[in-house]
Structure 1
């Protein structure tokens, strides 16, 4: 990757990460409390939903910057013709290298595929707002299908020391939720999670594309 592209990915990723964390932090807090085994009200309800925002924003810049540098570099390194059937695989590998979680494996290939489809339909590369719309759809879908894993993660994080979920076994945590609360338990908080991540995908990926395009254009205009 050339230096302007590297710098643009670094800064754009950081800016996007801060924007989405500042705006969506309260929704994530509400979603976590909905998934709590003690219930929403006992877990805190709507109290203190902005607690921890500053530290989250500070930490999000380097994390998001590192993710997008890695993501863009791996895409460049695994350069594949846009018409190739291997394109989704490339995007999955790039997302895995940036952040090894199932959510990214769903969201980023879908985001890239939606952008490619929209670009093909209108015969030119998508604008930043169109990329943001694709990010919202991709994020919402990924949020829905990975909600059970998110529920398991929340149960493990909130488990009392010495309890079965505290062991960190995801399958065991999923089985425990299924046994006590059934399908509704596995998808607890799915709608606020989808809403938050859809909005997050719109802001995060739209802000990333807009900032990166601006920085690259600025780099081309500089002597």
Structure 2
């Protein structure tokens, strides 16, 4: 396998990161407020849902660029020794190298598996819009199964200094949420989170594939 276009991955990752942040920032704000222990309205409701978007957009370009160039490099590096049944492991390693969070460990192997299945069914590589659809499904599923961890993260971030929650013990926070609110508390905000991340997966991974393919094509056409 030839080395992938690392420059194309770098630029495409940044474009994808900025695109998804600009479009989905308000939904993430709403989701965070739904998970707040003080309740949605007291946490701000629908007020100021665009506050902080400039800094998020500026930071997303280098972060997404770094993630994707690492992801593509690790995939390329491991490709020579990977058999078909080890492909999900390769994608998990690549995702964890780029960004060590449970969400990526679920989303990216599923995204790659769905693309591979679609490619096999139609006997050719998926188009960018098909990659985007796979990204939406993968993102939505990953969002659902990791919602309790996201709830714990939100509670820890919003906790008062010195409280037991602020100590950052995720398992303790999850147990407390379960004890007081049960399953509904652990999955608070799951539907807007799934909607936002499904749409985000469609935009993020679709934009990445489209931009990267375009840059690679331009590179081949250049003298």
Alignment coverage as a number of residue pairs? 223
Report what 1:146 is aligned to: 146
Describe the superposition over 1:185-219 as per-residue Cα deviations: whole angstroms up to 9, x where unpaired.
Answer: 00000000000000000000000000000000000
Task: With the length of structure 2 as denominator, give the TM-score of the two structures.
Answer: 0.98
Relative to structure 1, the CA distance from residue 150 to residue 181 in structure 2 (aligned partners, 3 Å threshold; closer, same or farther) is: same
**3-state DSSP class of the match of 2:5?**
helix
C-alpha displacement at 1:82, in angstroms?
Answer: 7.5
Describe the superposition over 1:87-115 as per-residue Cα deviations: whole angstroms up to 9, x where unpaired.
Answer: 00000000000000000000000000000
Runs of 4+ in 1 over 6 A off after TM superposition: 1-4
Report what 2:166 is aligned to: 166
Task: With the length of structure 1 as denominator, give the TM-score of the two structures.
Answer: 0.98
For residues 80 and 170 of structure 1, the distance between their equivalents in structure 2, rounded to whole angstroms, comes to 38
C-alpha displacement at 1:119, in angstroms?
Answer: 0.0
Report the aligned-residue RMSD.
Answer: 1.4
Report what 1:183 is aligned to: 183
For residues 159 and 18 of structure 2, the distance between their equivalents in structure 1, rounded to whole angstroms, comes to 29
For residues 66 and 34 of structure 2, the distance between their equivalents in structure 1, rounded to whole angstroms, comes to 30
Report matched runs for 1:29-40 at 5 Å: 29-40=29-40
Relative to structure 1, the CA distance from residue 36 to residue 13 in structure 2 (aligned partners, 3 Å threshold; closer, same or farther) is: same
For residues 205 and 198 of structure 2, the distance between their equivalents in structure 1, rounded to whole angstroms, comes to 10
**3-state DSSP class of the match of 1:81?**
coil
C-alpha displacement at 1:84, in angstroms?
Answer: 1.3
C-alpha displacement at 1:80, in angstroms?
Answer: 4.7
Structure 2: state its 5+ residue gaps.
none
Describe the superposition over 1:169-193 as per-residue Cα deviations: whole angstroms up to 9, x where unpaired.
Answer: 1001101111111100000000000
C-alpha displacement at 1:144, in angstroms?
Answer: 0.1
The answer to whether the Cα contact below 8 Å between 1:80 and 1:86 also exists between their aligned partners in 2 is no
> Does residue 221 of the first structure (1) align with residue 221 of the second (2)?
yes
The answer to whether the Cα contact below 8 Å between 1:29 and 1:49 also exists between their aligned partners in 2 is yes
For residues 159 and 167 of structure 1, the distance between their equivalents in structure 2, rounded to whole angstroms, comes to 9
